[in-house]
Copies of this chain bind each other. A is one copy, B any other.
Protein backbone atom coordinates (compact mmCIF):
# COMPACT_ATOMS: atom_id res chain seq x y z
CA UNK A 1 0.00 0.00 0.00
CA UNK A 2 2.53 2.66 -1.10
CA UNK A 3 1.13 6.09 -0.29
CA UNK A 4 1.86 9.25 -2.18
CA UNK A 5 5.14 9.70 -0.37
CA UNK A 6 6.22 6.06 -0.52
CA UNK A 7 8.97 5.06 -2.97
CA UNK A 8 6.49 4.28 -5.73
CA UNK A 9 4.92 7.73 -5.99
CA UNK A 10 8.22 9.61 -6.03
CA UNK A 11 9.65 11.23 -9.13
CA UNK A 12 13.37 11.65 -9.72
CA UNK A 13 15.15 14.93 -9.10
CA UNK A 14 15.84 15.31 -12.81
CA UNK A 15 12.19 14.65 -13.72
CA UNK A 16 11.15 17.22 -11.12
CA UNK A 17 13.58 19.75 -12.58
CA UNK A 18 12.18 19.00 -16.03
CA UNK A 19 8.65 19.70 -14.83
CA UNK A 20 9.77 22.95 -13.22
CA UNK A 21 11.40 24.01 -16.49
CA UNK A 22 8.32 23.13 -18.52
CA UNK A 23 5.91 25.46 -16.73
CA UNK A 24 5.42 29.13 -17.46
CA UNK A 25 5.73 31.68 -14.71
CA UNK A 26 6.02 35.41 -14.77
CA UNK A 27 9.30 37.27 -14.66
CA UNK A 28 9.34 40.39 -12.45
CA UNK A 29 8.76 43.87 -13.86
CA UNK A 30 11.46 46.49 -14.31
CA UNK A 31 13.04 49.33 -12.37
CA UNK A 32 15.41 52.08 -13.47
CA UNK A 33 18.27 52.37 -10.98
CA UNK A 34 21.59 54.17 -10.65
CA UNK A 35 24.74 52.21 -11.53
CA UNK A 36 26.09 52.76 -8.01
CA UNK A 37 23.47 50.29 -6.73
CA UNK A 38 23.41 47.98 -9.76
CA UNK A 39 25.69 45.17 -8.64
CA UNK A 40 23.88 41.82 -8.61
CA UNK A 41 20.88 43.20 -10.51
CA UNK A 42 19.69 41.64 -13.76
CA UNK A 43 19.53 43.72 -16.96
CA UNK A 44 16.07 43.94 -18.53
CA UNK A 45 17.46 45.34 -21.81
CA UNK A 46 20.48 44.85 -24.02
CA UNK A 47 23.08 47.56 -23.62
CA UNK A 48 25.00 48.94 -26.58
CA UNK A 49 27.66 51.58 -26.49
CA UNK A 50 26.55 54.90 -27.93
CA UNK A 51 30.11 56.09 -28.34
CA UNK A 52 33.66 55.07 -29.15
CA UNK A 53 35.91 54.23 -26.25
CA UNK A 54 38.37 55.70 -25.77
CA UNK A 55 36.79 58.82 -27.18
CA UNK A 56 40.24 59.97 -28.30
CA UNK A 57 43.55 58.27 -29.00
CA UNK A 58 45.67 58.31 -25.87
CA UNK A 59 48.96 57.27 -24.35
CA UNK A 60 49.23 54.23 -22.10
CA UNK A 61 52.67 55.25 -20.80
CA UNK A 62 54.46 58.25 -19.35
CA UNK A 63 56.75 59.46 -22.16
CA UNK A 64 56.84 61.48 -25.34
CA UNK A 65 54.31 61.69 -28.17
CA UNK A 66 56.28 61.45 -31.41
CA UNK A 67 56.24 60.51 -35.06
CA UNK A 68 57.46 56.90 -34.98
CA UNK A 69 59.32 57.39 -38.28
CA UNK A 70 61.71 59.74 -36.44
CA UNK A 71 63.03 56.74 -34.50
CA UNK A 72 63.33 54.15 -37.28
CA UNK A 73 66.87 52.77 -37.26
CA UNK A 74 67.75 54.32 -33.88
CA UNK A 75 70.17 52.18 -31.81
CA UNK A 76 72.61 52.58 -28.93
CA UNK A 77 75.38 53.36 -31.42
CA UNK A 78 73.28 55.49 -33.79
CA UNK A 79 70.78 57.33 -31.56
CA UNK A 80 68.08 59.68 -32.80
CA UNK A 81 67.61 63.13 -31.28
CA UNK A 82 64.28 64.89 -30.74
CA UNK A 83 63.36 68.40 -29.64
CA UNK A 84 60.86 68.51 -26.77
CA UNK A 85 58.66 71.35 -27.99
CA UNK A 86 55.37 70.87 -26.13
CA UNK A 87 53.66 69.11 -23.22
CA UNK A 88 50.28 67.33 -23.06
CA UNK A 89 48.30 67.88 -19.83
CA UNK A 90 45.72 65.48 -18.43
CA UNK A 91 42.16 66.33 -19.38
CA UNK A 92 43.23 69.01 -21.88
CA UNK A 93 42.95 69.11 -25.66
CA UNK A 94 46.50 69.61 -27.03
CA UNK A 95 46.47 72.88 -29.01
CA UNK A 96 49.58 72.09 -31.04
CA UNK A 97 50.90 69.65 -33.61
CA UNK A 98 53.93 67.36 -33.38
CA UNK A 99 56.18 67.86 -36.38
CA UNK A 100 59.12 65.84 -37.68
CA UNK A 101 61.98 65.89 -35.20
CA UNK A 102 59.70 67.01 -32.37
CA UNK A 103 58.44 65.34 -29.19
CA UNK A 104 55.67 66.36 -26.75
CA UNK A 105 55.88 65.26 -23.13
CA UNK A 106 52.80 63.14 -22.38
CA UNK A 107 51.48 61.41 -19.23
CA UNK A 108 49.71 58.03 -19.10
CA UNK A 109 46.16 58.70 -20.28
CA UNK A 110 47.07 61.94 -22.02
CA UNK A 111 45.48 62.68 -25.41
CA UNK A 112 47.72 62.00 -28.39
CA UNK A 113 48.34 65.33 -30.16
CA UNK A 114 47.91 65.81 -33.89
CA UNK A 115 50.93 64.71 -35.85
CA UNK A 116 52.03 62.09 -33.31
CA UNK A 117 51.34 58.39 -34.02
CA UNK A 118 53.08 56.72 -31.07
CA UNK A 119 54.55 57.20 -27.62
CA UNK A 120 58.17 56.77 -26.66
CA UNK A 121 58.52 55.50 -23.07
CA UNK A 122 60.28 57.81 -20.64
CA UNK A 123 62.54 54.91 -19.61
CA UNK A 124 63.83 54.54 -23.18
CA UNK A 125 65.15 58.10 -23.42
CA UNK A 126 68.09 60.09 -22.14
CA UNK A 127 67.59 63.76 -21.41
CA UNK A 128 70.45 65.76 -23.01
CA UNK A 129 69.30 69.21 -21.95
CA UNK A 130 66.08 71.07 -21.19
CA UNK A 131 64.82 70.65 -24.75
CA UNK A 132 66.48 67.60 -26.26
CA UNK A 133 66.23 63.86 -25.73
CA UNK A 134 68.24 60.97 -27.10
CA UNK A 135 66.44 57.87 -28.41
CA UNK A 136 68.31 54.55 -28.66
CA UNK A 137 65.51 52.28 -29.87
CA UNK A 138 62.94 52.37 -32.69
CA UNK A 139 59.27 52.92 -31.82
CA UNK A 140 56.61 51.24 -33.97
CA UNK A 141 53.58 53.14 -35.25
CA UNK A 142 50.77 53.07 -32.61
CA UNK A 143 53.21 51.81 -29.95
CA UNK A 144 52.10 52.65 -26.37
CA UNK A 145 48.82 54.13 -27.54
CA UNK A 146 45.17 53.14 -27.52
CA UNK A 147 43.38 54.51 -30.56
CA UNK A 148 39.92 56.03 -30.55
CA UNK A 149 37.30 53.22 -30.57
CA UNK A 150 39.96 50.53 -30.11
CA UNK A 151 38.45 49.49 -26.79
CA UNK A 152 34.72 49.70 -27.56
CA UNK A 153 33.11 50.84 -30.83
CA UNK A 154 29.95 52.94 -30.97
CA UNK A 155 27.01 50.57 -31.55
CA UNK A 156 28.78 47.54 -30.04
CA UNK A 157 26.63 45.22 -27.89
CA UNK A 158 28.18 45.15 -24.44
CA UNK A 159 25.68 43.40 -22.21
CA UNK A 160 22.72 41.22 -23.01
CA UNK A 161 19.37 41.31 -21.35
CA UNK A 162 19.37 38.75 -18.57
CA UNK A 163 22.99 39.49 -17.59
CA UNK A 164 23.62 39.84 -13.87
CA UNK A 165 25.74 42.94 -13.33
CA UNK A 166 29.14 42.46 -11.71
CA UNK A 167 31.27 45.09 -9.96
CA UNK A 168 33.35 45.83 -13.06
CA UNK A 169 30.21 46.19 -15.18
CA UNK A 170 29.20 49.22 -13.12
CA UNK A 171 32.58 50.72 -14.02
CA UNK A 172 32.15 49.89 -17.70
CA UNK A 173 28.70 51.51 -17.73
CA UNK A 174 30.18 54.62 -16.12
CA UNK A 175 32.87 54.73 -18.80
CA UNK A 176 30.16 54.79 -21.46
CA UNK A 177 28.26 57.62 -19.80
CA UNK A 178 25.44 55.33 -18.69
CA UNK A 179 24.55 56.29 -15.13
CA UNK A 180 21.17 54.52 -14.97
CA UNK A 181 20.10 51.05 -16.10
CA UNK A 182 16.82 49.22 -16.56
CA UNK A 183 16.84 46.09 -14.43
CA UNK A 184 14.33 43.52 -13.25
CA UNK A 185 12.73 44.19 -9.90
CA UNK A 186 13.91 41.94 -7.10
CA UNK A 187 11.43 39.06 -6.86
CA UNK A 188 9.29 39.25 -3.74
CA UNK A 189 9.04 35.89 -2.05
CA UNK A 190 6.25 35.33 0.47
CA UNK A 191 7.20 32.94 3.27
CA UNK A 192 4.36 31.18 5.06
CA UNK A 193 5.12 29.07 8.08
CA UNK A 194 2.51 26.54 9.11
CA UNK A 195 2.08 24.23 12.04
CA UNK A 196 0.04 24.35 15.21
CA UNK A 197 3.20 23.80 17.26
CA UNK A 198 5.21 26.68 15.76
CA UNK A 199 5.79 29.91 17.73
CA UNK A 200 7.85 33.02 16.89
CA UNK A 201 11.53 33.12 17.93
CA UNK A 202 10.97 35.74 20.63
CA UNK A 203 8.41 33.50 22.40
CA UNK A 204 8.99 31.33 25.39
CA UNK A 205 8.01 27.82 24.48
CA UNK A 206 5.52 25.61 26.21
CA UNK A 207 5.91 21.83 26.14
CA UNK A 208 5.16 20.56 22.64
CA UNK A 209 5.94 23.89 20.93
CA UNK A 210 8.96 24.73 18.78
CA UNK A 211 10.15 28.06 17.50
CA UNK A 212 9.93 28.99 13.84
CA UNK A 213 13.26 28.09 12.23
CA UNK A 214 12.39 27.81 8.57
CA UNK A 215 11.06 31.33 8.07
CA UNK A 216 14.42 32.79 9.03
CA UNK A 217 16.54 30.34 7.08
CA UNK A 218 14.36 30.86 4.01
CA UNK A 219 14.29 34.65 4.32
CA UNK A 220 18.08 34.67 4.36
CA UNK A 221 18.37 32.21 1.47
CA UNK A 222 15.98 34.35 -0.56
CA UNK A 223 18.06 37.44 0.19
CA UNK A 224 21.44 35.97 -0.75
CA UNK A 225 19.92 34.71 -3.99
CA UNK A 226 18.67 38.11 -5.06
CA UNK A 227 15.10 38.04 -3.78
CA UNK A 228 13.22 40.14 -1.28
CA UNK A 229 11.67 38.03 1.47
CA UNK A 230 8.19 38.91 2.68
CA UNK A 231 7.63 37.20 6.03
CA UNK A 232 3.90 36.41 6.18
CA UNK A 233 3.94 34.85 9.63
CA UNK A 234 2.91 31.62 11.29
CA UNK A 235 -0.46 30.10 10.41
CA UNK A 236 -2.51 27.30 11.90
CA UNK A 237 -2.98 24.15 9.85
CA UNK A 238 -6.57 24.70 8.84
CA UNK A 239 -8.14 25.24 5.46
CA UNK A 240 -9.58 28.72 5.95
CA UNK A 241 -6.52 30.16 7.68
CA UNK A 242 -4.20 28.75 5.03
CA UNK A 243 -6.43 29.91 2.20
CA UNK A 244 -6.30 33.44 3.53
CA UNK A 245 -2.50 33.32 3.97
CA UNK A 246 -2.09 32.02 0.43
CA UNK A 247 -4.43 34.62 -1.00
CA UNK A 248 -2.55 37.48 0.67
CA UNK A 249 0.77 36.02 -0.46
CA UNK A 250 -0.31 35.72 -4.08
CA UNK A 251 -1.37 39.37 -4.01
CA UNK A 252 1.96 40.68 -2.80
CA UNK A 253 4.62 38.29 -4.05
CA UNK A 254 6.21 36.77 -7.16
CA UNK A 255 6.73 33.40 -5.50
CA UNK A 256 5.30 31.67 -2.44
CA UNK A 257 7.13 29.32 -0.08
CA UNK A 258 5.14 27.33 2.46
CA UNK A 259 6.99 25.36 5.11
CA UNK A 260 5.65 22.59 7.26
CA UNK A 261 2.45 20.82 6.31
CA UNK A 262 3.93 18.99 3.35
CA UNK A 263 4.27 15.57 4.97
CA UNK A 264 1.33 13.36 4.20
CA UNK A 265 -0.47 13.33 7.52
CA UNK A 266 -3.80 14.22 8.99
CA UNK A 267 -3.11 17.88 8.61
CA UNK A 268 -1.73 17.90 5.09
CA UNK A 269 -3.37 20.87 3.52
CA UNK A 270 -0.76 22.44 1.27
CA UNK A 271 -1.56 20.57 -1.98
CA UNK A 272 -5.29 21.03 -1.42
CA UNK A 273 -4.81 24.77 -0.93
CA UNK A 274 -2.56 25.09 -3.98
CA UNK A 275 -5.07 23.28 -6.17
CA UNK A 276 -7.96 25.35 -4.83
CA UNK A 277 -6.48 28.48 -6.43
CA UNK A 278 -6.84 27.15 -9.96
CA UNK A 279 -4.86 25.52 -12.76
CA UNK A 280 -2.28 24.21 -13.19
CA UNK A 281 -2.05 23.79 -9.40
CA UNK A 282 0.24 21.08 -8.01
CA UNK A 283 2.83 19.96 -10.58
CA UNK A 284 4.60 17.42 -8.42
CA UNK A 285 4.46 16.16 -4.84
CA UNK A 286 7.22 13.91 -3.58
CA UNK A 287 10.74 13.57 -4.97
CA UNK A 288 13.37 10.84 -4.69
CA UNK A 289 15.59 13.19 -2.72
CA UNK A 290 17.00 12.89 0.78
CA UNK A 291 16.38 15.04 2.67
CA UNK A 292 13.54 16.85 0.92
CA UNK A 293 11.26 13.97 -0.12
CA UNK A 294 7.89 15.66 0.56
CA UNK A 295 8.66 18.75 -1.58
CA UNK A 296 5.64 20.11 -3.46
CA UNK A 297 5.81 22.33 -6.52
CA UNK A 298 2.82 24.06 -8.04
CA UNK A 299 1.88 27.10 -10.06
CA UNK A 300 -1.02 29.37 -9.23
CA UNK A 301 -1.93 32.13 -11.69
CA UNK A 302 1.61 32.08 -13.20
CA UNK A 303 3.14 32.34 -9.71
CA UNK A 304 5.38 29.47 -8.56
CA UNK A 305 4.48 27.99 -5.18
CA UNK A 306 6.61 25.55 -3.21
CA UNK A 307 5.49 23.42 -0.32
CA UNK A 308 8.70 22.71 1.56
CA UNK A 309 9.36 19.99 4.13
CA UNK A 310 9.22 20.80 7.82
CA UNK A 311 12.75 19.72 8.74
CA UNK A 312 15.18 22.64 8.56
CA UNK A 313 17.86 20.68 6.73
CA UNK A 314 15.33 19.41 4.20
CA UNK A 315 14.21 22.99 3.63
CA UNK A 316 17.77 23.96 2.80
CA UNK A 317 18.26 21.07 0.39
CA UNK A 318 14.91 21.65 -1.35
CA UNK A 319 15.75 25.34 -1.68
CA UNK A 320 19.12 24.53 -3.18
CA UNK A 321 17.86 21.88 -5.59
CA UNK A 322 14.60 23.46 -6.75
CA UNK A 323 13.72 26.90 -5.39
CA UNK A 324 16.93 28.74 -6.20
CA UNK A 325 16.68 28.07 -9.94
CA UNK A 326 13.08 29.31 -10.10
CA UNK A 327 13.99 32.40 -8.10
CA UNK A 328 16.81 33.27 -10.52
CA UNK A 329 14.48 32.68 -13.47
CA UNK A 330 11.71 34.97 -12.22
CA UNK A 331 14.44 37.52 -11.45
CA UNK A 332 15.03 37.63 -15.22
CA UNK A 333 18.42 35.92 -15.22
CA UNK A 334 19.26 34.35 -18.56
CA UNK A 335 19.56 30.60 -18.48
CA UNK A 336 23.16 30.42 -19.57
CA UNK A 337 24.45 29.29 -16.24
CA UNK A 338 27.37 27.02 -17.08
CA UNK A 339 29.56 28.72 -14.56
CA UNK A 340 27.14 29.06 -11.70
CA UNK A 341 26.91 25.28 -11.81
CA UNK A 342 30.62 25.14 -11.05
CA UNK A 343 31.13 28.07 -8.76
CA UNK A 344 31.06 27.86 -4.99
CA UNK A 345 32.40 24.32 -5.15
CA UNK A 346 35.52 22.76 -3.78
CA UNK A 347 36.95 19.34 -4.49
CA UNK A 348 37.69 17.25 -1.44
CA UNK A 349 38.16 13.62 -0.39
CA UNK A 350 35.35 12.05 1.54
CA UNK A 351 36.49 11.13 5.05
CA UNK A 352 34.06 8.25 5.64
CA UNK A 353 32.20 5.62 3.60
CA UNK A 354 28.80 6.95 2.55
CA UNK A 355 26.02 4.55 1.61
CA UNK A 356 22.97 5.56 -0.35
CA UNK A 357 19.88 3.99 -1.88
CA UNK A 358 20.08 3.77 -5.65
CA UNK A 359 17.20 5.65 -7.27
CA UNK A 360 17.39 8.42 -4.72
CA UNK A 361 19.59 11.52 -4.75
CA UNK A 362 21.21 11.94 -1.35
CA UNK A 363 22.53 15.26 -0.10
CA UNK A 364 25.16 14.74 2.57
CA UNK A 365 26.28 17.63 4.74
CA UNK A 366 29.99 17.89 5.26
CA UNK A 367 32.57 19.87 7.12
CA UNK A 368 35.60 20.70 4.99
CA UNK A 369 38.97 20.32 6.68
CA UNK A 370 42.48 20.84 5.45
CA UNK A 371 44.77 17.92 6.36
CA UNK A 372 48.40 18.22 5.24
CA UNK A 373 47.33 20.72 2.61
CA UNK A 374 44.65 18.44 1.19
CA UNK A 375 40.93 19.10 1.60
CA UNK A 376 38.76 16.44 3.22
CA UNK A 377 34.98 16.40 3.44
CA UNK A 378 33.85 15.01 6.78
CA UNK A 379 30.20 13.89 6.68
CA UNK A 380 28.10 15.46 9.44
CA UNK A 381 25.48 12.84 10.11
CA UNK A 382 22.58 13.09 12.49
CA UNK A 383 18.91 12.37 12.85
CA UNK A 384 16.66 14.36 10.61
CA UNK A 385 15.33 17.50 12.20
CA UNK A 386 18.47 18.35 14.15
CA UNK A 387 19.92 21.79 13.78
CA UNK A 388 23.40 21.34 15.19
CA UNK A 389 24.37 19.70 11.89
CA UNK A 390 23.44 22.95 10.15
CA UNK A 391 25.91 24.78 12.33
CA UNK A 392 28.77 22.30 11.93
CA UNK A 393 28.59 21.71 8.18
CA UNK A 394 30.32 23.92 5.59
CA UNK A 395 28.53 22.57 2.56
CA UNK A 396 26.90 19.65 0.86
CA UNK A 397 27.97 16.80 -1.39
CA UNK A 398 25.55 14.92 -3.60
CA UNK A 399 25.34 11.16 -4.10
CA UNK A 400 23.59 10.77 -7.46
CA UNK A 401 20.53 8.56 -7.93
CA UNK A 402 22.68 6.14 -9.98
CA UNK A 403 25.10 5.48 -7.10
CA UNK A 404 25.06 3.18 -4.08
CA UNK A 405 27.44 5.38 -2.10
CA UNK A 406 30.93 6.80 -2.02
CA UNK A 407 33.94 4.91 -0.63
CA UNK A 408 36.19 6.68 1.86
CA UNK A 409 39.00 8.64 0.21
CA UNK A 410 37.18 9.21 -3.08
CA UNK A 411 37.04 12.74 -4.45
CA UNK A 412 33.73 14.57 -4.26
CA UNK A 413 32.51 18.05 -5.16
CA UNK A 414 31.36 20.04 -2.16
CA UNK A 415 29.03 22.93 -2.74
CA UNK A 416 29.78 25.43 0.00
CA UNK A 417 26.88 27.05 1.80
CA UNK A 418 26.11 30.55 0.64
CA UNK A 419 26.83 33.55 2.86
Contacts and interface: CB of A to CB of B under 8 A. Distances in A.
Interface of A: 6, 35-36, 38-40, 53-56, 60, 62, 89-94, 107-111, 123, 146, 150-152, 158-159, 164-179, 195-198, 200-221, 223-224, 229, 231, 237, 263, 265-267, 310, 312, 316, 338-339, 342-347, 368, 370, 375, 383-388, 390-391, 394, 416-419
Given A212-B174, A385-B146, A416-B343, A223 B56 contact: no
A310 B165 CA distance: 22
Contacts of A165: 419
A385 B59 CA distance: 10
B204 A177 contact: yes
Given A151-B387, A217-B167, A387-B171, A207 B55 contact: yes
A287 to B, nearest CB: 18
A385 B209 CA distance: 61
Contacts of A229: 36
A89 B196 contact: yes
Contacts of A386: 146, 150-151
Given A108-B263, A151-B386, A171-B312, A177 B195 contact: no
A402 B269 CA distance: 64
Contacts of A209: 55, 91
Contacts of A107: 265-267
Given A108-B265, A391-B159, A384 B60 contact: yes
Q: How often does this chain occur in the complex, in copies? A: 2
Interface of chain A: mostly helix, strand, loop or mixed: loop
Contact of A387 (B172, B179, B342): B172
Contacts of A55: 205, 207, 209-210
Contacts of A212: 174
Contact of A196 (B36, B90, B343): B90
A310 B109 CA distance: 9
A198 B385 contact: no
Given A40-B224, A171-B390, A338-B370, A418 B109 contact: no
A188 B390 CA distance: 31
Contact of A168 (B56, B110, B203, B316): B316
Nearest to A174: B201
Given A91-B198, A172-B391, 11 more contacts: A55-B210, A90-B195, A93-B206, A109-B310, A110-B208, A167-B418, A169-B390, A171-B387, A175-B201, A339-B346, A342-B346
A201 B216 contact: no
Contacts of A93: 206-208
Contacts of A217: 167-168, 170-171
Nearest to A110: B208
Contact of A173 (B123, B174, B201, B210): B201
A224 B416 contact: no
29 contacts: A36-B229, A38-B220, A55-B207, A60-B383, A107-B267, A108-B265, A109-B385, A110-B208, A146-B383, A150-B386, A151-B385, A164-B419, A167-B316, A167-B417, A168-B391, A170-B219, A171-B312, A172-B213, A173-B201, A173-B216, A174-B216, A175-B210, A175-B211, A177-B202, A177-B205, A177-B211, A339-B346, A339-B368, A342-B375
Given A171-B216, A202-B177, A310-B108, A195 B419 contact: no
Given A346-B342, A419-B39, A152 B108 contact: no
